[in-house]
Amino acid sequence: MSQPSVIIGTGPLSPADVVAVTRHGAPVELAPEALAAMAASRRVIDALVDDGTPHYGVSTGFGALATRHIPLDQRTRLQRSLIRSHAASSGAEVDREVVRGLMLGRLSTLATGRTGVRPAVASTSAALLNAGITPVVGEYGSLGCSGDLAPLSHVALALMGEGTVRNASGDLVPAAEALGAAGIAPVELREKEGLALINGTDGMLGLLILASADLHRLLATADLAAAMSVEGLLGTDAVFAEDLHALRPHPGQVASAGNIRALLEGSPLLREQLTSETGRHRFTRVQDAYSLRCAPQVHGAARGTLAHADAVAAVELGSAIDNPVITPDGRIESNGNFHGAPVGYVLDFLAIAVADVASMSERRTDRFLDKARSHGLNAFLADDPGVDSGHMIAQYTQAGIVSELKRLANPASVDSIPSSAMQEDHVSMGWAAGLKLRRAVDGLTRVLAIEILTAARALDMRDGGAAGASGYRSAAPIAAVRQRLRQDVEGPGTDRYLAPEIEAARLLVDDGSLLTAALEALPATLR
């Protein structure tokens, strides 16, 4: 089923628009008003071409070379040379959806009519997106100031019919060949157009929006994992009561507590911990460990961080970032709006939250494996402890990931390094922060998958290996999750090759299958 087109130029794109285009291949279409706005701003540039006054990017060099006046007959070469020299990325190829985010973000700014490019340049950029042509971009090359220069230059290079791209089939081919096969004519850049194609925060913004989309799902999954662990460790759901969280009503905390409360409602295992006569707990624990009891506070704080990041992304999506910029009243003005600090900060902030949520998840997992703390379960959830090792090394894998996430939580945005002969003497490192967060999000996915895999095994062992939701003593949503997991991963038994089971659980977390199973068993959605 084909995706509906995302219309560009009628207002800010939404995060859902960005995800639809970058991740799911939705086509884009430039609105007539965007084409008109671009044509109007291009007339401003054309009027400056031979007026004799230096204009940055129109009749001068770039960066520290801005003092050089460029004669009229060299200005096409100026733009072409800019792109070729700046397409200097190195390292591992970044993912297709990240490059598409670069392309979409820059196209959105072009469509505002504040950059001075011809409509034909934007139309060609849209054609590349729609043809599934993705320029090859290395992970190194952007300092997050003066735009994501090297990554965006590889995109601009492809518009010129140069460089290397992947076609819609994923094959590595020369750009000229891919454009020719798609019937797209390369662009010959004119005054200012090369600069306008590379002077934005589009790479780091795309990384933020993609990470945010994943984290909305993963934080709900973290609540699900915590609920399964509370149930599997025979904890109490009393600490998730609505009136307790109303005493400290951070919105994210309230939402997380409500999710866990809903997921645990009616759990037979938890009811069995109470005597029917007094309503008091059978066990002697007055309070559960922090990793169980304080899950809403940590998950909620992460939600608050994500809400702040979403607010920053919304402002960026409604922005026109270029230097110089064409103002609505027709002036061409230099500015510093390309600096990536606002985006870089929140990318780093989210990496801190991701590391902490994952750290708490790993602590819950570890409790299942310690016979002294698991309340009646076999050591390491092994079938025959000593002969079998159960999930002992699954927790090692989790711990290794969590340790990596703590390193990734170190901020990139404080690590400014000067460039361009000290003209660009303070940079945001937002692109690095975005790539770092992307790796962290993948790590959190794996950590939560291992917790859910472990909690499900523990619950199966408490149920004596009962198969199917009808034999489970879990709350309905948790029973549904266990049942969905068992479609891909066998229940408890003697030791098996564990890596494929971890990967199967990761895929179910990543595509939202386990969360969907829980939601379908709930009367209301999770928050």
What is the residue extent of each domain of the chain? 6-200, 208-324+331-520
Query: Would you state the pLDDT for residue 407?
Result: 97
474-505 residue pLDDT tens: 999 999 999 999 999 999 999 999 999 999 99
Phi, psi values for residue 239, rounded to 5°: -75, -10
CA distances for 46 relative to 32, 49, 79, angstroms: 21, 5, 15
> Could you read off the pLDDT of 56-103 as tens digits, one per residue?
767 676 665 666 776 776 778 888 999 999 999 999 999 999 999 999
Same-fold call for 6-200 versus 208-324+331-520: no
pLDDT of res. 353: 98
DSSP code for 276: T
Check residue 165 and report its DSSP letter: E
Fold of 208-324+331-520: Fumarase C; Chain A, domain 2 (1.20.200)
Is the model's pLDDT at 276 over the cut of 50?
no
Lowest mean pLDDT among 272-281, 297-306, 450-459, 512-521: 272-281
Could you count the other beta carbons within 10 Å of the beta carbon of residue 318? 12
Task: Kindly provide the b/e burial profile for residues 442-459, where b requires at least 16 CB atoms within 10 angstroms of the residue's own CB.
Answer: bbbbbbbbbbbbbbbbbb
Q: Note the helical H segments in 233-272.
A: 242-245, 251-264, 268-271
Task: Judge whether 497 counts as a catalytic residue.
Answer: no
Q: Show the beta-strand stretches assigned E in 9-114.
A: 28-30, 90-93
pLDDT number for residue 466: 65
pLDDT band for position 233 (cuts 50, 70, 90): very high
What is the structure's pLDDT at 246? Answer: 97
What's the mean pLDDT in 328-352?
A: 93
Q: Which of 56, 290, 345, 396 is catalytic?
A: 56
Q: Identify which has the larger pLDDT, 348 or 62.
A: 348
| φ/ψ bin of 71: left (φ > 0), alpha (ψ from -120 to 50), beta (otherwise) | beta
Mean local confidence (pLDDT), 395-401: 98
Q: What is the pLDDT of residue 120?
A: 97
Q: What is the pLDDT of residues 253-275, one digit of tens each?
A: 999 999 999 999 999 999 887 75
User: What digits encode the pLDDT tens for the residues 235-247?
Assistant: 999 999 999 999 9
Alpha carbon 215 to its chain centroid, in Å, reads: 7
**Of 141, 521, 430, 199, the residue nearest 337 (C-alpha):** 199
CA–CA distance, 473 with 483 (Å, rounded to integer) = 12
| CATH class of the domain whose range is 6-200 | mainly alpha
Residue 332: in which H helix or E strand, if any? strand 332-333
Q: Is the pLDDT of residue 284 over 80?
A: no
Contact 128, 139 (CB under 8 A): no
Class of residue 145 by CB neighbours under 10 A (exposed 0-12, middle 13-18, buried 19+): buried
List the single range of 93-97, 333-337, 378-382 with lowest mean pLDDT: 333-337
pLDDT in tens, 126-155: 999 999 999 999 999 888 887 899 999 999
d(CA 91, CA 492): 43
Q: If you ran DSSP here, which 8-state letter would residue 200 be given? A: S
pLDDT score of 364:
98
What integer is the mean pLDDT of 211-229? 98
Reported confidence tier of residue 277, pLDDT bands at 50, 70, 90: very low
